[in-house]
Amino acid sequence: MTTEQFTFTVTKTDGAARTGEIRMPRGVIRTPAFMPVGTAATVKAMYPDQVKALGADVVLGNTYHLMLRPGAERVARLGGLHQFMNWPYPILTDSGGFQVMSLSALRKIDETGVTFQSHIDGSTHVLTPERSIEIQGLLGSDIQMQLDECVKLPCTDEVAEKAMRLSLRWAERCRVAFGEQPGKAMFGIVQGGAVERLRIESARELAALDLKGYAIGGLAVGEPQEVMLRMIETVEPHMPAEKPRYLMGVGTPDDIVEAVRRGVDMFDCVMPTRAGRHGQVFTRHGRMNLRNARFAEDTSPLDPESKCTASNTYSRAYLHHLVRSNEILGMMLLTWNNLAYYQELMAGLRKAIAEGRLESYIGEVKEGWAKGER
Ligand SMILES: CNc1nc2cc(C(=O)NN)ccc2[nH]1
C-alpha cells in the first residue's frame, strides 16, 4: 500500500469549471460527478448493478440512518457496507449531522456533539465528531465527512457564526479521529450560512487543515438559488483548486449546471430518486409529472433519444397508470429514468468541459428544458 492511495487530478478546465478524477482503491470517480443517494444501504428502487451501468462511480450512504438501523457495529460484523449492499465501488458517507437536525427530535447540541432521539423508536443517541468518524469507519466508508452544524436559512449572522466556528472545532477533532487511512479520505465542510465573510473564514480555516477534499454545506436549505450560487462564488476562490469540491444536497439539473460552471466537482441529491417515486420525471425536455391526466393515453415514451429502457420503451400512458395505481414498477421505472438522465447530464458536462465548449452545452440543455416545459 503506497501512501498515495487517494488522489484527485484536475484534467481539464473551462472557466471555473473543471473535469477531474478521484482515484482510490475501490475505483475512479469521474468529476463532475453525481452521487445517487443510498440512504439505508440501498439506492431506493434500483439494483446496484443498474446504478453502476448508468455511469455512477460512487454512491452516498447516510450515517444517521445506518447508525440507527441496522447499526454501525452490525454492518461491520457483516463485512462492511460494500459487501452488505453489494456495491464494491466507492461510497461516500455523510456525518449524520444534517439528518439529526432535520429528522430527529434534537435534544441537545453542545461542544461535545449532538444528543438526539431516534425518529424510528425514540431511543436516545449521542453523535460526537469522534463517534461520527468511528461509525463511518465501521461502515467501511471511502470518503468520510466531518460532523458539522448545519443551520437552516434564513438565520441571523450570530447563529451562522456560532455554528460555523463549532463546525471548525469539530473538523479538527474529526481530523484527529480519522488519523491516517491510506486509500480513504475525510472531507471538511464549509459552513457560514449566507454570510460571505463567514463562508470565506470557514473555507480558509479548513484549507489550513490540508484535508483531502472540501464540501460546501448548509446550502439548499430554503434559500433562493441566487443566494446559493453567490455563496459558491464567494468560497470558490478560497478553496484549494487541487482538491475536490462537493456541494452537499444539490440539486435540480439547473442547480448542478450552474454549480459546475462555478467550479463544483461533486453532487448528491435525493431529487432524482425521491421525485421518481412520486411520479415526477426529469428528461432533456424538462420535467413532467406522470400523475397528470394529460398522459392517460399518451403512447409516446418519456424520451426516445435516451439509451435507458425506462425512458425509450414504456409509454407515458402505461407509466401514468402505474403511478396512479401506486404500482412498485412505476417507482422503479421512473427512478431508473431520472438517474439515467442525471448521469447523462453529468457525462455531457464532463465532455463539454473537456472539449472547451461548456457555455454552448449549457445553452443547449437549458433550451431543451425550456422547450419541454412550455
Ligand atoms: C437538500 N438540501 C441539502 N442541504 C444539505 C446540507 C448538508 C450539510 O451541510 N451537511 N453537513 C447535507 C445535506 C443537505 N441537503
- How would you classify the pairing of strands 185-190 and 105-109? unpaired
Q: Which residues, in sequence order, are CB contacts of 196 under 8 Å at separation 6+?
A: 230, 231, 234
Q: What is the mean pLDDT of the chain?
A: 97
Cell numbers describing residue 312:
425509450
Give the strands of the sheet with 114-117, arranged side by side.
Answer: 105-109, 114-117, 124-127
Percent share of the chain, pLDDT over 90:
95
C-beta of 218 in contact with ligand 1 (< 6 A): yes
pLDDT of residue 3: 52
Q: Among 144, 148, 221, which is best to mutate for testing ligand 1, by the most ligand atoms less than 8 A from CB?
A: 221
How large is the greatest C-alpha to C-alpha distance in the chain, in angstroms?
A: 60
The H or E element containing residue 143 is strand 143-145
CA distance 203 to 234: 10
Preceding peptide of 70 cis, ω within 30°: yes
User: Which residues make beta-bridge pairs with 114?
Assistant: 109, 127
User: Which residues make beta-bridge pairs with 289?
Assistant: 280
pLDDT of residue 372: 84
- The DSSP letter of residue 321 is H
CA distance 374 to 370: 6
C-beta of 98 in contact with ligand 1 (< 6 A): yes
Distance 2 CA to ligand 1 centre (A): 33
Question: pLDDT of 307-361, one tens digit each?
Answer: 999 999 999 999 999 999 999 999 999 999 999 999 999 999 999 999 999 999 9
Cell numbers describing residue 80:
462492511
Distance 220 CA to ligand 1 centre (A): 7
Distance 162 CA to ligand 1 centre (A): 18
C-beta of 249 in contact with ligand 1 (< 6 A): yes
303 is catalytic: no
CA distance 140 to 149: 23
Contact 280, 289 (CB under 8 A): yes
Distance 255 CA to ligand 1 centre (A): 14
C-beta of 221 in contact with ligand 1 (< 6 A): yes
C-beta of 332 in contact with ligand 1 (< 6 A): no
- Nearest residue by C-alpha to atom 8 in ligand 1: 217
Distance 323 CA to ligand 1 centre (A): 29
pLDDT of residue 137: 98
pLDDT of residue 1: 45
What amino acid is encoded at 360 in this protein?
A: S
**pLDDT < 70 regions, the chain:** 1-4, 374
> Taking each helix axis from N to C terminus, what angle separates 225-235 and 196-207, rounded to the nearest 10 degrees?
40
Q: Which of 57, 94, 148, 265 is catalytic?
A: 94
Distance 324 CA to ligand 1 centre (A): 31
Question: pLDDT of 240-283, one tens digit each?
Answer: 999 999 999 999 999 999 999 999 999 999 999 999 999 999 99
Summary count for the chain: helices (H), strands (E): 15, 16
ipTM higher than the 0.90 cut: yes
Q: Among 60, 95, 98, which is best to mutate for testing ligand 1, by the most ligand atoms less than 8 A from CB?
A: 98
327 to 17, 46, 318, 334: CA distances (angstroms): 41, 15, 11, 11
Q: Which parts of 140-195 fold into alpha helices (H)?
A: 157-178
Nearest atom of ligand 1 to the alpha carbon of 150: 9
End-to-end Cα spacing for the chain: 55
